[in-house]
Amino acid sequence: MTDKKVLGMFKKTGALLTGHFKLSSGLHSQRYLQCALVLQRPEYAGQLCSELAKKLKKQRPTVIVAPALGGVLVSYEVARAIGCRSLFTEREEGKMTLRRGFSLTKKDRVVVVEDVITTGGSTREVIEVVTAYGAKLVGVGSIVHRASGEIDFGVPFEHLLRIAVETFDPATCPFCKERIPLVKPGSRKT
């Protein structure tokens, strides 16, 4: 699947937004990729996650883990395509954790997935949960790699779309200086 085809899905569903956005990382941006608008369409979710699964299958995962909320559908669909379990982490008192009876063992080979990765902060939090259980991290994947530079998770990192979106520290954000209203479209509200 080409970048053009993936980006086409974002455009068709109105998921490529422009404005003044606060990202989950705390950084600001003029463009935002709202994966939920693409993933609400089962045909697109299935196509995207099947393609991502093809790239991740070579790591032979036994479990796919994602942070809630944005990665839940990605985890489920990738796990379904590979034929393994799907788990998600949630924040409890500000700390990422496995809940709902989910657990990992030292025998598990884990791939952490996300809808979009910008700084890798949430992904690293999930990786900490995985390693705390003693499970083996074997890969990371995302539908969109939005970082301006490379991110090293210490394992293979696969993605479908690489798109550089300029980000700004809130203290130097030109859109804040222009008093353009700030929107926080993601799932994390802090």
* Sign of the CA dihedral running 162, 123, 103, 107: positive
The pTM (predicted TM-score) of the whole model is 0.88
pLDDT for the residue 23 = 85
Number of compact structural domains in the chain = 1
Strands (E), 23-172: 28-33, 63-67, 85-92, 95-98, 109-117, 136-145, 157-162, 167-168
CATH code of the domain in which 60 resides:
3.40.50.2020
In a domain, 100, yes or no: yes
CA distance 99 to 102: 6
In a domain, 29, yes or no: no
Q: Residues 48-54: what's their mean pLDDT?
A: 98
Amino acid sitting at position 64: I
In a domain, 110, yes or no: yes
CA distance 48 to 36: 13
Amino acid sitting at position 23: L
CA distance 85 to 76: 8
CA distance 126 to 179: 35
pLDDT tens digits, residue range 70-83?
A: 899 999 999 999 99
In a domain, 2, yes or no: no
Over the Cα atoms of the chain, what is R_g? 16
Examine the pLDDT at 175 and tell me if it is beyond 70: yes
pLDDT tens digits, residue range 22-49?
A: 987 788 999 888 999 999 999 999 999 9
In a domain, 19, yes or no: no
